[in-house]
Amino acid sequence: MLSQRDKSVIIGILDEVLGVGTSLRGNEQAHHCPFCHHHKKKLQVNLETQQWHCWVCDSKGRKIQTLLKRLHVDSKKIRKVFEIYGDDYIVTSTSTDEEKVELRLPSEFKSLLVKPKGLNPLYKKVVQYAKDRGITKEDIIRYNIGYCDGGIYTNRIIIPSYDVDNRLNYFIARSVFTEEKFKYKNPPVSKNVIMFENQVNWKEPITLVEGVFDALAVKRNAIPILGKFVPKKLNDAIFKNGVKSINILLDKDAQQQALQYTMQFTNQGISTKNIVPSDKDASDMGFSEVNSKLKESTKTDFSDIISQKLKLHQHSQEAHIYKKNEISF
C-alpha cells in the first residue's frame, strides 16, 4: 500500500503531465485524456494498482510508467514512479535519447539456496511449493531461483531469465498461496525475449513450451514462450542459429497455434514434432512422460498437420453442438 507521501508525489506528477485531476473514491484519480482530448475528465488512474483507462476512447494500460512513456515524459519523472512502485526495473538513456528499460531483480529477492536463520514459515512454504512443482536443487542453482519476503512481489517464488550475455531479461513472480487473486505478477516490460537464452543450446533440438514451470519440468533444452505465441526475437533466433529440430509442446487449448507453428517451421525445412498432450500440461507430465512421448513421436509431416487440424475442427464442432443442446435450469 502506498504511503500518503508517495501518493502525493504520484498525484503531483500526474497533475503536471495531464493537468490538475480530481480525486475519486478508491484511490482513483480522474484526468482529461491526452489521447482523445474529451472535454470531461474521463481518464481514470488507480494509484494502488497503477491501472489507467479512458472511458471514451478506451486507451488503457496496467502501469503508470507506460502512460508516461507514451506521452514522452522525461526520464526523471518515470524514474521517480519506478522508485515508488518497485525497483525491479530502471530507466536509462541511450545515445539517441531513447528510453529503454533495464531489468533488475527486486531488492527483496533471496536465493532459495540460502536458508534463513530461525523460523521462517514463508521460506518453508516456497521450498515446498518448488518441490511440488518438480523443481530440483540443480534447477535452483542453474536458474538462480529465489523468492521475495517483502515489497510488491512478496510471497512469490521468483524465476529469473537471462539473455546470452547473462543479463536479466525477464522474471516470473508466482504466488505460492492458492488464495492469492493474481497468481502471477510479472515485471511490466516486453515479453519479446528469449527465456532462459543463456541455457539454450541451438545445435540441439529445442522444445517450445508455454510457461517456465513447463520448461523446468520438461528440461530437454526447453524454452517457455510465455503464452501461445512465439516471440519475434525467438522466432528470429531459431532461423539465425540454424536450428535443425523443434519439438512443440503447448497445452491442449493452444493446438491451433501449435499447428500453425508446426507448419511454419516445417515449411522452412526444420524437422518439427507437434506433441499433442492429454489432459495434463507439460509441467504435470514431467520429464519422464514427456521423454516417452518424444521418443514415440515421429516428425510431423503435412498429412499429420491436416489430420490434426481435422480432429481439432471436429472437436470444436462437437463442443459447439453440446453447448447448443445444453439444457438451462
Kindly give the confidence (pLDDT) of every residue in the chain, 329 residues in length, as a single tens digit, with 9 standing for 90 and above.
778 899 999 999 999 999 999 998 878 999 999 887 888 899 999 998 888 988 887 788 888 988 888 888 888 888 888 888 864 544 444 433 334 557 889 999 999 999 998 888 999 999 999 999 989 999 999 999 999 999 999 999 999 999 998 889 999 999 999 888 889 988 878 889 999 999 999 999 999 999 999 999 888 799 999 988 999 999 999 999 999 999 999 888 888 888 889 889 998 899 998 887 766 666 666 667 766 766 666 566 556 655 655 565 555 554 444 444 444 43
Look at residues 17, 82, 85, 81 and name the one whose alpha carbon lies nearest to residue 49.
Answer: 85
Residues 253 and 242 in one domain: yes
Residues 200 and 176 in one domain: no
User: Bridge partners of 171?
Assistant: 160
Query: Would you say residue 194 lies in a domain?
Result: yes
- When divided into structural domains, the chain yields a total of 3
> Residues, the chain, total?
329
Q: What are residue 12's phi and psi, to 5 degrees?
A: -60, -40
Residues 232 and 180 in one domain: no
Side-chain-side CA neighbours of 299 within 13 Å: the count stands at 12
Say what the pTM is. 0.64
Contact 18, 31 (CB under 8 A): yes
Range of the structural domain that residue 29 is part of = 4-85
CB neighbours of residue 115 within 10 Å: 10
What secondary structure does DSSP assign to 63-117, as a single string?
A: -HHHHHHHTT--HHHHHHHHHHH-SSEEEEE-TTS-EEEEE---TTEEETTSPPS
Residue indicated by cell numbers 485524456: 33
CATH number at residue 31: 3.90.580.10
Contact 189, 198 (CB under 8 A): no
